[in-house]
Structure 1
Amino acid sequence: MPNHKNPPPSRRQILKTAGLAASAATFSTFGTKRAAATGYPERTIKIIVPFAPAGPTDVMARILGQSLADALPGNVIVENRPGASGNLGIGYVAHAEADGYTLLVTSSAYVVNPSLFAKIPYNPFRDFAPITELGTTPNMIVVSPKLGVNSIAELFARAKAKPDELNYASPGAGTTPHLSAELLKIVGGVEITHVPFSGAAPAIQALLAGTTQMAVAALPAALPCVQSGEIKALTGTGEHRWPDLPDVPTMIELGYRDFIAETAQFFFAPAKTPPDIVQKLAAKSIEVLKQPAVVAKLRDNGYEVVTHGPDGLRKYIETEVPKWRDVIAKAGIKPV
């Protein structure tokens, strides 16, 4: 029977209460329109991405930046400031001038880093004005077909019958796929050895090569090999089944209530940004993200659009930070 003890809060509960990288360059500029004489924006908006170019967050930011450049009377640029698992860029925006011209697009690192690091350059509750969540992608629990495991129940049975035999690859310690696997171990009451890699692609390659028997990765990295039959997906950690994998159940469907562990992307302004600017950015972002072409483009990159505005994102953060703090503590992961 599933272990339902201390289930993480549900995304549904939270919300009910309230090549695309244009190049590997650090900067990209969208649009050539001049700012209007009065009103926001009157000059170029800069979106900071706290990760390297061409990664998932960078792709999301560039789609958003292009769309906002078309919707607002000014230029929008994306600037990459990678380092320290995202903390460098997040901290930069936290201490930027709160005038609406320096913004942040970041990932779930925002909600997990406060528990992974002994000291970070931002407070997740006080240093930012939430604009909106942008999109989510589920993490996938995948195994080698040679393992002979066809379901999460069979995986748990194997792990309990042969402790310490199984291992799994992840894109790195502290990533949401890694933490999804730790949550899986907690609810299943099993031990599976973590083998961290330097990204999702190396983690999947390790599984294909037989270095590990299973892997946990965000959907975009795992999807091609699942569709080709090279690896088998046991479950997804999103709220719904992914449309391109209609036969792969979610953990919720398997009886693990509220097991949602997605990789999400967020849009923020510094905390003291004028509320009317935050609301304008939220309204414009939601408007462009609902455009069919943008929805399709994000779906092609493995994202489901999520647009719940400032209040929805604020409530999500208030729940996700303590949720992952609890998972990290139970997994015995010590802050660095």
Structure 2
Amino acid sequence: MPERKTQYPRRAVLRAGGRLITAAAATALGPRFAHAAGYPERPIRIIVPFAPAGPTDIMGRILARHLGEALGGTAVVENRPGAGGNIGIGIAAHAEPDGYTLLVTSSAYVVNPSLYAKIPYDPTKDFAAIAELGTSPNVILVDPKLGVNTIAELIARAKANPDELNYASPGIGTTPHLSGELFKIICGINITHVPFSGAGPAIQAILTGTTQVAFAALPPAHPQIESGALKALAVTGEHRWFDLPEVPTMVELGYKDFVSDTFQGFLAPANTPAAVVALLASKSIEILKRTDIAEQLRNDGFEVIANGPDGMRKRIADEVAKWRDVIAKAGIKPV
């Protein structure tokens, strides 16, 4: 009898061929490809390069909790503070690029390349951008007992009494410090910078009269503004803060381009599988766009941005250049 030929439906043949191609691609690309398909298989570590309870830690913990749930796994924050954020950022930069060590960082990421003579990472080469999470405006504060109620009055006071005033910041190279230096340059005044070891000590300094002025990120200052213990003269964001409608922006007051906020970004070590980066970007943006999460972050002093990798890369490029210029003009020497 002649051999009988078996007929296979064309669709089944195509499906089988597709499976063979996928398997071949996985073999060619090695274990990372297969690993990404089942991601995550173990807890994800999110490094925050600052101490607990600061703005970046708050953002990191909110993201970690909800990201773990969204991925069907666990994400935990690991605080690795020191050297203005360089220690934690460096640890993340040199971690295995497998999607299990990630970084939530602040504007220190773009400031430090100009602030330090040597840093343990390259801001454009050592990380893959995942998402631009949010920003917090900085705020210019005075002790109410100073008798200064507007930015114009603060400038007039500083010009009439050179070297009388000093201002607190959370530390050298923070965006509040650089906002203070930019303020001095633009306004042609001299007020003495007094750096502290974080936002809490800087706020405490103006509350106790150690300084008369402070430049600070909004989240830690917000309760003191609401209580009347401190007076906010201006915010340095693009627009007024939603529950401080009486506090103007520096741009509104005539200081064009005086926008200085503290951003939080989400990054992975360079060469993390593209599929993992895309998944993390998608899930983190979904989380940030949830009404309950956006409201929680807003109440904590953050404006949600929720941009993907392209937005994060653009912010990095723009702000590395911006802060390099401010640091040079302020005469701040790399340490």
The residue aligned with 1:178 is 177
Q: Distance in 2 between matches of 1:324 and 1:115?
A: 7
The residue aligned with 2:135 is 136
Greater gyration radius = 2
The residue aligned with 2:89 is 90
Q: Secondary structure of 1:163's match?
A: coil
Measured against aligned partners, the alpha-carbon deviations of 1:25-82 in whole angstroms (never above 9, x if no partner) come to xxxxxxxxxxx99532233221111122232222211100111111113221222222
The residue aligned with 1:283 is 282
**How far did residue 330 of structure 1 move?**
1.1
Sequence identity percentage: 70
The residue aligned with 1:8 is none
The residue aligned with 2:7 is none
Q: Secondary structure of 1:43's match?
A: coil
**How far did residue 161 of structure 1 move?**
2.1
Q: Secondary structure of 2:123's match?
A: coil
Q: Distance in 2 between matches of 1:201 and 1:54?
A: 10
Measured against aligned partners, the alpha-carbon deviations of 1:211-240 in whole angstroms (never above 9, x if no partner) come to 211111111222122122222111001111
Measured against aligned partners, the alpha-carbon deviations of 1:248-286 in whole angstroms (never above 9, x if no partner) come to 001111111221111111100111112222111111100
The residue aligned with 1:197 is 196
The residue aligned with 2:267 is 268
Look up the equivalent residue of 1:96 and give its one-letter code.
A
Query: Quick check: 1:167 aligned with 2:160?
Result: no
Look up the equivalent residue of 1:220 and give its one-letter code.
P
TM-score by length of 2: 0.86
Moved more, 259-268 or 49-58: 49-58
Within 5 Å, which residues of 2 pair with 1:300-311? 300-311=299-310
Look up the equivalent residue of 1:90 and give its one-letter code.
I
**How far did residue 195 of structure 1 move?**
1.2
Q: Distance in 1 between matches of 2:169 and 2:51?
A: 19
Q: Secondary structure of 2:323's match?
A: helix
Q: Distance in 1 between matches of 2:89 and 2:274?
A: 20
Deviating beyond 4 angstroms after TM superposition, the runs of 4 or more aligned structure 1 residues are none
The residue aligned with 1:11 is none
**How far did residue 204 of structure 1 move?**
2.0
Look up the equivalent residue of 1:331 and give its one-letter code.
A
TM-score by length of 1: 0.86
Q: Distance in 1 between matches of 2:125 and 2:87?
A: 17
Q: Distance in 2 between matches of 1:136 and 1:176?
A: 12
Moved more, 107-116 or 51-60: 51-60
The residue aligned with 1:29 is none
The residue aligned with 2:102 is 103
Change (3 A) 1:196 1:39: same
Q: Distance in 1 between matches of 2:37 and 2:314?
A: 33
**How far did residue 173 of structure 1 move?**
1.5
Q: In 1, are the aligned partners of 2:135 and 2:302 still within 8 Å (CA)?
A: yes
Change (3 A) 1:107 1:37: closer
Q: CA RMSD in A?
A: 1.6
Q: Distance in 2 between matches of 1:49 and 1:197?
A: 20
**How far did residue 199 of structure 1 move?**
2.1
The residue aligned with 2:228 is 229
Within 5 Å, which residues of 2 pair with 1:321-332? 321-332=320-331
Q: Distance in 1 between matches of 2:228 and 2:53?
A: 27
Q: In 1, are the aligned partners of 2:80 and 2:88 still within 8 Å (CA)?
A: yes
Q: Distance in 2 between matches of 1:283 and 1:114?
A: 29
Moved more, 251-260 or 308-317: 251-260
The residue aligned with 2:297 is 298
Q: Secondary structure of 2:267's match?
A: strand
Look up the equivalent residue of 1:44 and give its one-letter code.
P
The residue aligned with 2:114 is 115
The residue aligned with 1:7 is none
Between the two proteins, the alignment pairs up a number of residues equal to: 301
Q: Distance in 2 between matches of 1:144 and 1:74?
A: 47
Q: Distance in 2 between matches of 1:51 and 1:123?
A: 19
Q: Distance in 2 between matches of 1:86 and 1:206?
A: 22
Q: Distance in 2 between matches of 1:272 and 1:196?
A: 37
The residue aligned with 1:247 is 246
Structure 1 residues not aligned, in runs of 5+ = 1-35
**How far did residue 111 of structure 1 move?**
0.7
Q: Distance in 1 between matches of 2:80 and 2:36?
A: 31
Q: Distance in 2 between matches of 1:169 and 1:181?
A: 9
Q: Distance in 2 between matches of 1:335 and 1:137?
A: 26
The residue aligned with 1:50 is 49
